[in-house]
Amino acid sequence: MSLPEDEAASLLARMEPRDVEAVSIEIAKVGSVPYDEQEVVIHEFASYNPNAVGLGGGGLGLARSLVEKALGKNATATLDNVQQSIEALPFGFLKNVDSQNLLTFIVDEHPQTIALILSHMAPAKAAEILAGLPSDRQLSVIRRVATMGHTNPEIIHEVEQGLAHRMASVMSQSFEKAGGVQSVAEVLNVTDRATERSLLENLAQEDPDLVEEIRRLMFVFEDINKFSDKDLQTVLKNVESAQWAMALKGASEELKEKIFGNMSQRAADLLREEMDYLGPVRLSDVESTQQQIVDIIRRLEDAGELSIHSGDEDEQFIT
């Protein structure tokens, strides 16, 4: 799966037919593969891999294409066997169902039923479902998975058919990700300050961690570029030079020049020297310091000492 199709097919063509079938079945079973997982597998296979790229994923389509290129006219029997094998896998229809949608349908099932379903899913997807269950049910389910032995095929088929019937409408629809913390931040960024403050204060009483996450997304370090010189002067008075030196290591040239331009020539030269003296720094340290400055800015805004509200950008003033 890491190779271009033509090269992979050429490799398959050198295998025995039974091996082609076995490998193709495994390809057809595989969905999307994270790069780090691919890298581990390849390093286990060889000592080097200079051209590693992330996988586009497997699936029946790729398996069929490779077998046809490898076996040509003799591919029919192998393709039939691969397809029959994949379609016969219990709960195979869940492969392309979003984990959150599936969780909605099975969360209230008996733990034994959930255990049966999870034991027939890929480990990564089963882990997502398990994580979404209440803690008490997690324990019941994982205990049943661990002690599950042979299961009557008729029971598996019955559970599978029942779930497929209930999820028929979900599997026939496509879904689009919407909402989320980022969306809330974007909406509040263009909401009047009074409404924003009221909403966040009320929400903080129920979920302060969520409010903190929203606040962090509402204003990011690079947004300092939007400040008036007056507001930036206020910020400069409240942030230490060492913090600026670290934070600006990861800033755009435009923001650096804006900061330097609001300092005296001597202060700007000293800050540049301090940045040069730091040398290479960890990205995590830069981002952490930038967030410290953002937190200071939010406190200044709450105290009424400056305004970072983007909704004020088009505000008209009269003399």
Both tokens of 268, joined, read 């700007």
Angle at 19 between CA 74 and CA 56, to 5 degrees: 90
Q: What is the pLDDT of residues 94-139, one digit of tens each?
A: 776 777 878 888 888 888 888 888 887 777 888 888 888 888 888 8
Q: Average pLDDT in the 224-228 region?
A: 88
Q: Average pLDDT in the 243-263 region?
A: 92
Q: How many CA atoms lie within 13 A of 192 on its CB side?
A: 3
Tell me the pLDDT band of 267, cut-offs 50, 70 and 90.
very high
Say if residues 117 and 159 touch (Cβ distance below 8 Å): yes
From its phi and psi, is residue 57 left (phi > 0), alpha (psi between -120 and 50) or beta?
left
Q: Average pLDDT in the 149-155 region?
A: 77
The end-to-end CA distance of the chain, in Å, is: 68
pLDDT of residue 311: 41
**Closest by alpha carbon to 70, among 12, 26, 24?**
12
More confident residue, 154 or 224: 224
Rounded to whole angstroms, how far apart are CA atoms 86 and 37? Answer: 23
pLDDT of residue 53: 46
Q: Is the pTM of this model over 0.75?
A: no
pLDDT of residue 60: 63
| Helix-helix angle 123-132:99-106, to 10 degrees | 50
Residues 145-159: b if buried by 16+ CB within 10 A, e if exposed = beeeeeeeeeebeeb
Q: What is the DSSP string of 18-74?
A: HHHHHHHHHHHH-----HHHHHHHHHHH-S--TT--------HHHHHHHHHHHHGGG
pLDDT of residue 108: 83
Q: What is the mean pLDDT of the chain?
A: 78
pLDDT of residue 312: 45
